[in-house]
Chains A and B, each alone.
Chain A
């Protein structure tokens, strides 16, 4: 009986292996993602898993590459007026949607107007508030008139939600997206998988190289890792940080990490006491050991920084050191602010965001020596979004990297910024001026200098504490070639093959 059982299990194992073999050879990449998708409508997407689909199914007018530089995508070229208020984009000729219809300027206009419509609920809307009007003089030309001079306008079209859609397909895009991207939508079984197939008419000849991509939705990290190790899947997107060491020991698996400008932070609300005093905020910042926070919160998968500008970015200000904790300096500042014995406060952390939970717990330990006694409250995400974010005095939060430095910073640090007014209510006229000047800067050098100045000002008078930027980590089997993790955390599979 025992022999028969073992025999049966062995036969089952062999047949499984035999059945899996052709799947690996036919160019179908199998990717594990941790969460179900809410929507396939790129304009409405808010999850990292959804952003992957945006990039594969759709294209933008422009593309932000791995180094943060803007390059052409559907727009072959663009020009701007001297005052940086009129931008003219020329579409690449001959680009077709997946249903064979041609891409036209009207599609671009309709896509952006839809994003600007509040009822659409696109988080990219705030970026296009500066658009006064859109004109389409011919089928291949789009002219944007802006309310203000804006040097980074072309980069906005590389953002996750700003994918160009077919103008008469908006009603069905959530369930059956038609784009111009390298892969075509085949099917979505909610909770189970998304299947994409190669777009044979993709405008870059010879790409994509894969025939198909299958995304398996696997919330449990143990299941993801087992599937990767057994070859049931080829790639785990956004590998859980705690699994990295274990995965690195597996000779069949490559762990690929890339720095991003995605950040976690200790949010201090300047509209609430005692964080309305900049000296208190500065004291909190001085008490933190940033490299230690990277180790504790991220298992080492991140980089200490001053603001959300990552050390890998050319605008990063290398002249400002990452200082070790200064307990005496922090105490002195607290005393000046009227808290010679420190104070007690509650730090709210969102449940289910493990890096932010660990950040909060570690921060509590660093704040104790300067006299700040922290009570940590874990709050479910729903409640966190409704009752804590933008309302509480002190909490941990975090944000995805954005395509441009301006869209990463301006909304958070400018006194009129959309996120600032709902997050930490920071008001620093010097920073307002630097950020406005950077938007209108005419040269790259001028812009870089202004952002370095911004970092110095933000370090001197902090809005909150942004201790680090996170790495984005993927793990894939050795048979996957031509893949590199993206700082934007999406998957560029155009050059990827499975052998």
Chain B
């Protein structure tokens, strides 16, 4: 197991190196450059060249990459070319905000997704099942920016219950801080919950039809015990994998949700950086997101093994 984890960590490191090269290459071929943006629309060539020289952008691409990579290896993520401030604290502050939002959404997605999925399965083809299905299909088929705008109009503008956007400050008290998280996290939850509930439902139905469950029923075990102790544990295995994939979805969707709710997270910072070709900021942001995604998958795999003792990485028991 330890060997497996170490191998995976090496794998993640390799993925991040490849990602950094890819992102660097993409920024090289994107139209426009940061010197042009800094110099303004109608700057003459001499001005652009002067800025490029100042920022080291006139060096060959491999030299620029190596300078950046060397800095990262020594713990220096560089300065934002546009904002002229260190990338590390910028990324960290934004990441903390996003991580908080994503964590709340993830917990809600996992909880409600599993609960709704199990409810739909044990009441298959009845009203609850149909209601969960409709809810799931609506959630998954309507884009999150639509829900975000609806939420702002209903809860912020008409009902005036919750702020329309931004981030709260904990120094102003718990509720002013927490209230800013409600609408964005609900929006994220609503769009992702469908995946989890649909999968939990089908997995649960399959498990409930299995022989060992039938056997348990024949033994006269109460239905609640059968569901909790026997069916759910096995039915959740594919759900764990989907939850890990949802971490990726969450990171993608959070960009849109942060933009609509003016939430100062990593998604908005990354959009800002991409629009302005701010390479150190783009690299740090994308690598961070890629790293989170890789680690989420690793954790999912480990949890999978934990929940299903038949699976042991390195070998599979027959």
Contact = CB atoms under 8 A, between A and B. Distances in A.
On whether the two chains bind one another, the answer is yes
A383 interface: yes
A379 B263 CA distance: 28
B167 interface: yes
A25 interface: no
A418 B40 CA distance: 13
Contact of B264 (A189, A419, A422): A189
19 contacts: A16-B175, A38-B82, A38-B276, A119-B53, A119-B54, A191-B265, A216-B165, A220-B259, A220-B261, A225-B157, A226-B156, A226-B165, A227-B166, A230-B160, A232-B164, A383-B32, A386-B31, A386-B32, A390-B42
B263 to A, nearest CB: 8
A427 to B, nearest CB: 18
Nearest to A216: B166
B159 to A, nearest CB: 8
B47 A191 contact: no
B272 A418 contact: no
Interface string A49-78: 000000000000000000000000000000
B292 interface: no
Interface stretch (B83-91, B191-199, B205-213): B83-91
Contacts of A9: 161
Given A121-B43, A190-B90, A226-B153, A220 B166 contact: no
Contacts of B305: none
Interface in B154-173: 156-157, 159-167, 172-173
Nearest 9 interchain pairs by C-beta: A192-B264, A226-B164, A174-B84, A226-B157, A191-B264, A119-B50, A218-B262, A223-B165, A226-B156
Interface of B: 30-32, 35-44, 46-47, 50-51, 53-54, 82-85, 90, 93-94, 149, 152-153, 156-157, 159-167, 172-173, 175-176, 179, 258-265, 268-269, 272, 275-276
A113 to B, nearest CB: 15
Interface stretch (A39-47, A84-92, A309-317): A39-47
B166 A192 contact: yes
A121 B36 CA distance: 9
Contacts of A117: 50
**Most chain-A Cβ atoms within 10 A of its Cβ — which of B37, B42, B269?**
B42
A232 B163 contact: yes
A430 interface: no
A232 B165 CA distance: 9
B175 A15 contact: yes
**Most chain-B Cβ atoms within 10 A of its Cβ — which of A118, A218, A418?**
A118
A292 B203 CA distance: 61
Interface in A354-403: 382-383, 385-387, 389-390
A471 to B, nearest CB: 23
B67 to A, nearest CB: 19
Nearest to B81: A38
Interface in A130-162: none
Given A216-B262, A230-B164, A385-B41, A12 B175 contact: yes
A219 B157 CA distance: 17
A118 B46 contact: yes
B156 to A, nearest CB: 4
A223 B38 CA distance: 29
A227 B172 CA distance: 18
A222 B153 contact: yes
Contacts of A123: 39-40, 42-43
B259 A219 contact: yes
Contacts of B165: 216, 218, 220, 223, 226-227
Contacts of A192: 166-167, 262-264
A175 interface: yes
Given A19-B176, A223-B165, A226-B164, A191 B94 contact: yes
Given A175-B83, A232-B156, 7 more contacts: A13-B159, A16-B176, A19-B172, A19-B176, A191-B269, A220-B260, A389-B41
B155 to A, nearest CB: 9
A24 to B, nearest CB: 14
A229 interface: yes
Contacts of B163: 16, 227, 230, 232
Contacts of A190: 83, 90, 94, 264, 269, 272
Contacts of B259: 219-220
A209 B43 CA distance: 39
A163 interface: no
A121 B40 contact: yes
Contacts of B53: 119
Nearest to A173: B84
A13 B159 CA distance: 9
A125 interface: yes
Nearest to B270: A191
Contacts of B176: 16, 19
A247 to B, nearest CB: 12
B40 A46 contact: yes
B59 to A, nearest CB: 16
Nearest to B154: A226
A41 B84 CA distance: 10
Interface string A416-428: 0011001100000
